[in-house]
Structure 1
Amino acid sequence: MLKAAVVGVNHIGKIHCRYYQEHRDVQLVAVCDLNESLVKTVANECKVNAYTDLKTMLKDEEIDVISVATGGKENGSQHYEPAMLAIEAGIDVLVEKPLSNCIKEAREMVEYARLQNVRLGCNLNHRFVPAAHLAKEWIDKGDLGTLLFVNMKLTIGNPNESSPWIHLRALHPHSIDVMRYFAGDIRRVQAFMTKAPGRTVWSTASINLEFESGAVGHLTGSYDMDNNHPIENCEVAGNNGRLIIDNVYENLTFYPHKSSEMKVVRNSVLNGMSGFNETFKNRINSFISDIKRSVDPEYVAGSGLDALSAQEVIEAAIRSQNENGAVIEIPKLLGRKVM
């Protein structure tokens, strides 16, 4: 039985608590938050110990895995310190996205986890769905042939005006990660962004990408759309066919070349995913599985390195926007390819 703790217990942290408690091989033992009233309430609901100081929790509790679900600026400025403390203690850690809103901190987290031989994962939950896994199988089997392009759209409604780059850094670790999951590392990007009427942040973005394989791609992202409608669409095409995933997990369609037939896999009403929050469940379950199977930290699915790779692309896109649409090369990262 793995013993788990959650740091940061607002909305997202509570979701982590829920799915740890539902896992048959996990015991949630503690929660930690600077807000004493909040953490005591959540601890009482979960029947676990409450802490307002992470160092004390690490000293007093036996913990195998920690979720860092703190927030901060651009949803990531408060991830670094708790994650580094967990890594220092030799505890496997799952961090919410972005790994950090500061690229220097994200790089340090990944390197420290490597040196400590600790599993560092990131909640890149959009890829942890049956549709994405099946699409990846088709791609790896060669059903699509040589990949030629990947088109991604992730658009939601979010009025947050706290930072010029909140839309890029807080939302698009997901979309970049999905694109990398299917097509591998990205070589260079070019970005153009705009602000919706009345907005002060770069709330809509158009980003061109070139992959190391030679395939090309495009990402459309926005904080200016309506959450009542589908938020995500991903199209992957090769010289033998193409596939489309509709709305994260709802439908997967394969269009083979030289055939009038298509293959459609729908999310089952009775046995499929019941809602978006189950992407969190799938992601947490995958991390627990990696720990239980003693997967080498280098091969964790949705690893810290994957999150850092996505963040490097986002920072390059921001630089491109600042440089009037210049084409920006992505820094080369040491380590394995996308898992």
Structure 2
Amino acid sequence: MPVKIGLVGLNGIGNLHAACYQEEELADLVAVCDVVKERADAAAEKYGVKAYYSLKDMIEHEPDIEVVDITTGGIDNGSWHFEPAMEAVGYGKHVLIEKPICHDVREARELVAFAEKQKVYIGCNLNHYFTEPAAKAKQYVDGGDIGELVYCMAKMGFNGGVDNYGLAGSPKVKGHPYFHMKAFLTHPFSVIRHFCGDITHIQTFSDRPGFRRSAGDVMVSINSIHMKFANGGVGYLLSQRGDAAYGLGGWWSLEMAGSKGTFCIENCVEKVSYWRAEKGIPAISKQPEPEVTDFGTTNFDRTFNNRLRAFLEDVSAGVPRDQLRANGRDALAVLEYTFAVIESYERGGELVRPHPLPPLHGDPLFMR
């Protein structure tokens, strides 16, 4: 049976989610909600569903809704997530939230704990690893073709430079120094953690270029982040928000190197290369030819379809809450890393240990 969904927030991302649900056989979009009446009405007409202007009214008039999908935005693209998510969880509904899970890490901790108490699913749109290249790379990892983690290097951001720059005018962005960190680092951190596990230490050297300073732009847009993983490996993440042309590897690249092999994903959805560590490889000189799997995909928006389907599959199957893909605890982890970056920056590049995640207790209905 299709999962009945109520969608909250009908700006760009909300409409993208709605369009995905229209294509998805596991989804039954029954209602949309936005405090801006015109947006809710337009979406309701477009998708053939009922419009509401408060979450309370939507849930009380549509009691069969099983999932509330929250695609609101706000400051740093996340300050309007917490209240509707808490309200939906309070009604006992499963919740899917756009990233970041919350604008403030204290709110995220409270939300994840409340969802656990209510025994409902809470997921986040960590869509960057719901791709064919990521699935292929995970096969290398799970099949033992990478071995023990040595290092991970990620580079994600936006093409740009001084000639493409314009001071943001939106109050959701302008005047907020950590917009890029909170709005964007969720994605690279989620992919890094998906492959490499939990991060135990973080240090950043972050800043903004002179042309931003001259314009009065306070956004800390350049982030050079060093990491240590629980399994002993090390990592590096470079992220910037349109301050330079991106160069080799495109706008998105992730390289994971281990004792038995190395993979590199380029441009998120496009291709993955794998180099096997074999006896007799020259220490420097010529590198062996990699195994390259090019999926011929350039449409990043399909990651939304993939991620939303995965959530609906897990809800329909009734998987244990801690096995829900891209769940609330996963989203909380990457927000903890983001706030560790902020703390390191504010302390002049000091080493920071992220706040520990809530312990896993296991579900007695599944652990027998």
**TM superposition score category, shorter chain reference:** over 0.9
Cα offset, 1:107, TM superposition: 0.5
Cα offset, 1:124, TM superposition: 0.5
Cα offset, 1:274, TM superposition: 5.4
Q: Aligned partners of 1:172 and 1:218: how far apart in 2?
A: 13
Equivalent position of 1:327 in the other structure: 351
Q: Aligned partners of 1:324 and 1:225: how far apart in 2?
A: 21
User: 1:288 and 2:312 equivalent?
Assistant: yes
Q: Secondary structure at the match of 1:329?
A: coil
Could you list the per-position Cα deviations for residues 23-61 of structure 1 after superposition, in whole angstroms to 9, with x for gaps in the alignment?
A: 112211000001101110110000100011110101000
Q: Aligned partners of 1:46 and 1:332: how far apart in 2?
A: 42
Equivalent position of 2:135 in the other structure: 133
Deviates more, 1:210-219 or 1:257-266: 257-266
Aligned mate of 1:243, from 254, 257, 263: 263
User: 1:143 and 2:145 equivalent?
Assistant: yes
Q: TM-score, normalised by structure 2?
A: 0.87
User: 1:308 and 2:336 equivalent?
Assistant: no
Q: Is the 8 A contact 2:201 2:227 kept in 1?
A: yes
Q: Aligned partners of 1:46 and 1:253: how far apart in 2?
A: 40
Q: Secondary structure at the match of 1:67?
A: strand
* Distance 1:144-1:331 versus aligned 2 partners, 3 A rule: same
- Which structure would you say has the larger Rg? 2
In structure 2, what residue type is equivalent to 1:18? A
Cα offset, 1:220, TM superposition: 0.3
Equivalent position of 1:51 in the other structure: 52
Aligned mate of 1:216, from 234, 245, 263: 234
Cα offset, 1:209, TM superposition: 0.3
Cα offset, 1:336, TM superposition: 4.8
Equivalent position of 2:121 in the other structure: 119
Cα offset, 1:227, TM superposition: 8.4
Identical-residue share of aligned pairs (%): 35
Q: Structure 1: state its 5+ residue gaps.
A: none
Equivalent position of 2:366 in the other structure: none
Aligned mate of 2:210, from 197, 215, 235: 197
Cα offset, 1:88, TM superposition: 1.1
Cα offset, 1:142, TM superposition: 1.2
Q: Is the 8 A contact 1:164 1:201 kept in 2?
A: yes
Q: Aligned partners of 2:262 and 2:246: how far apart in 1?
A: 27
Q: Aligned partners of 1:228 and 1:311: how far apart in 2?
A: 25
Equivalent position of 2:284 in the other structure: none
Q: Is the 8 A contact 2:270 2:298 kept in 1?
A: no
Q: Aligned partners of 1:182 and 1:83: how far apart in 2?
A: 28
Q: Is the 8 A contact 2:44 2:51 kept in 1?
A: yes
In structure 2, what residue type is equivalent to 1:265? T
Q: Aligned partners of 1:196 and 1:67: how far apart in 2?
A: 37
Q: Aligned partners of 2:54 and 2:311: how far apart in 1?
A: 25
Q: Aligned partners of 2:131 and 2:267: how far apart in 1?
A: 11
How large is the Cα RMSD of the aligned pairs?
Answer: 1.7
Cα offset, 1:225, TM superposition: 4.3
Q: Secondary structure at the match of 1:143?
A: coil
Equivalent position of 2:321 in the other structure: 297
Q: Map 1:169-180 to 2 at 5 A.
A: 169-180=182-193
Q: Is the 8 A contact 1:298 1:335 kept in 2?
A: no
Q: Is the 8 A contact 1:204 1:224 kept in 2?
A: no
Q: Aligned partners of 1:228 and 1:49: how far apart in 2?
A: 44
Q: Is the 8 A contact 1:243 1:255 kept in 2?
A: yes
Q: TM-score, normalised by structure 1?
A: 0.95
Cα offset, 1:261, TM superposition: 3.7
Equivalent position of 1:41 in the other structure: 42
In structure 2, what residue type is equivalent to 1:99? I
Q: Aligned partners of 2:148 and 2:360: how far apart in 1?
A: 21
* Distance 1:283-1:115 versus aligned 2 partners, 3 A rule: same
Could you list the per-position Cα deviations for residues 137-195 of structure 1 after superposition, in whole angstroms to 9, with x for gaps in the alignment?
A: 21122101101111011111585452100010000100000000001000010001111
* Distance 1:215-1:6 versus aligned 2 partners, 3 A rule: same
Deviates more, 1:3-12 or 1:136-145: 136-145
